[in-house]
Chain A
């Protein structure tokens, strides 16, 4: 039981770290990638809690499609340094 709890504690720690990284990054692309890492860890947590169905949906929608939508939206913007 103890290694299982340790793994879950590590995943939760990673979730907190990536969530703090999302709001602290100034670069939008880096924040989007941190959000993808957050989603991947969340799907791992769902799998550890024995919900593989939700884990597949979270990995597909959260880590894949939402990141793609964010990156496509960022492609439509202009970087601050490239403006001059």
Chain B
């Protein structure tokens, strides 16, 4: 079964927007609904769309199996190292040693009702990012291995 040109063009157009929306859900994970797993699943849906629309030999130029495995390993290592960092600052494993310490996500949280500051949360955005790229890599590797087992008839 070969997909039509309409399906292929729609998937090509939709792919970057899907990735950007998934990244938005991941980055705003500590403020809005969603988080690492949900954002990673949305990003993996974008790659799944591309994999459904095209043949295996056609898609491996853009989505590489090695890069996705590297994504998965990097996400896991980021999660573990961020958690272990708490041990060197006199806290427990996954203790929030970056909260309110300055730096990228270290702003102090305002009291009372407010719209929410993106640069707060300390360790939590880092953990969300690690989980996000880990889920993206893992789910895409599953789909790539499934797709590589299918013999497409040449027409």
Contacts and interface: CB of A to CB of B under 8 A. Distances in A.
A and B are interacting partners? yes
B45 A69 contact: no
Interface residues of B, number: 23
A75 B52 CA distance: 9
A9 interface: no
Interface string A45-84: 0000000110111001100110011011111100100000
Contact of B41 (A60, A72, A75, A79): A60
Contact of A57 (B37, B44, B51, B150): B37
Contacts, number: 58
Interface of A, secondary structure class, is helix
Interface stretch (B92-100, B111-119, B139-147): B139-147
Given A55-B33, A61-B41, A64-B44, 11 more contacts: A56-B25, A56-B33, A57-B38, A57-B41, A64-B42, A64-B49, A65-B48, A68-B52, A69-B146, A72-B51, A76-B150
